[in-house]
Structure 1
Amino acid sequence: MANKNKSWAYVGLVAVAAIWGANFGVSRLVMETFDPILFAFLRFGLAVPLFFGLLYWKEGSIGVPVRVALQLAAIGFIGITVLEIAVMYSIKYTTLANASLLNVAPWPIFAALFAPLFTKESLTKRLAIGGFVAMAGVCFIIIGGEEGLDLSSDHMIGNVLAFGVSLFGALFNLACMPLMQKYSPLRVSAWFIAFGALFMLPLTCGSWGKVAWSSLGAGDYTAIAYNVLLCTVAAVFVWNAAMHQVGAARSNFFRYVVPATAVAAGYLFFDEQITLLQIGGATLMAMGLVWITSERSTSR
């Protein structure tokens, strides 16, 4: 079984994926109030001072060499600015089911395949089997919904964008791994979040005046706080720390918890029905993840 000192990492990965999954419901509630790019900027931009404050409190400094800052700028641009926008437009140009499946399902596969280029990780037999079982489960969760899967040419642009999110998202995760061998996950996270928010800021021009700021209610502020404190500060820190501990390939399979939690959020917030196929898929996904965690990581 996994070492006890890695148990916290697996618990953290599940918790973070659940937080991100529930955010589909939380964010959908405020999308009529905020432009999607503006809301994404608020999520990451408001998190920046919290990240750096926490970094200074824990480590006594916040700086990185110029060469590393340039690397983190590229990582932030791809991993935060480009990916967040691509996710939004993939949802716009295809169905939610298509976007969910293509955004999530291939991501861990790409991470496992490309991991040897960035780390000492390898794709083991147990990881491959567990990943395949978990991926099958998440496919059942998404296909079992009301929308089903529609791969017609009408949704080609959105489907390509969603698939691209999986590819570049996996590379984004892996690109952080070498830096986290030299710097703490908190320092790496703080800087790429800061650069990602900075590059996103010009894209919000024209959106600020469309928000009736004086009319925002408790629900709006709660959604912002949830996105900043839980989905960004806590989640990114825990995810990167856990990924550093057990490896990027193994960690990314836990992204499959996201659509399962999103389905649960839809049931709780919007009274969306959960089908037997989705319940079976969630069970299959859980079995695959348990199988993966029972193997000792060889990444370090």
Structure 2
Amino acid sequence: MVDAMLLGRPKALSTYIILGDDETLIIDPGPPSSSETILKAIGELGVNSAIIAPTHIHIDHAGGSWRLMEELEDAKLYVHPRGAPHMVDPSRLIEASKRLLGERLIELYGEVRGIEAERVVESRDGEELKLGDLRVKTIWTPGHASHHQCYYVVDEGVLILGDAGGTYHPEAEAITPNSPPPFNPQKAMESLRRLMELDAKTLCYAHYGYTRHPELLEVYLRQIELWMSIIEEGLRMGLKPEELKERLRREDPMAEKAWRRGEAEREMMSIMGFVEYFRWIWRGADKF
């Protein structure tokens, strides 16, 4: 695990590097502003060729892929088919990110460039990547994003979650949803149930760190159920997002603990993912 120093902040984004006998997998290289940190790490490890494998194409996870591939001339990008076109031409991805996060933040993440189509490999659900003796299984996990996928190191029992397991706050011993719009909680829970069927021993979070408590997958599933219940009822009562937040603090002990410690800076954006989901389905449309 490498601390990618997201926007210069420690313990905000984990990049995972899996070293095989004849190939290396770099998972979630982060935005362009983190590229020098990751390049330094792989240089120290002696990596000169790799598969760049974002869990999804959001800029804070995948935006710096082009920079690594510029340095690693034989590298390939391995990504969900829904995300692949936007890594070749990131214009729509950039504009959507600006609308969600604000233009200033996207500027701080750094310049995002497209990647040559011939260097992009589309994943298949359930396929195994062979890194020498290591087997890494790709599992499509929609919910946080329709183009989200997790990676399971089969023989080691290591599950790399990206954002499918929420945000892990190790110092607060808490999990909170990582659910900016567009978020689909039903599909997120379906994905969690798939992951719970694995014999995972270690959970690796993008935000942030890892734990040897695989039962946290079920804890997160129950938390999503709780948030859905609280937010749906609150919306029907006419509560505003700030009022929903206060109700969540009262009824979700983990969220209250994380927010009390100031470790969940984007909590309102996560609440809005649920809010927008209910607004969407009440308009009679399927989110994805």
The structure with the greater share of residues assigned to helix is 1
TM over 0.5: no
How high is the TM-score relative to the length of structure 2?
0.28
Asked which structure has the greater RCO (Cα within 8 Å, sep 6+), the reply is: 1
> Which structure features the higher share of strand residues?
2
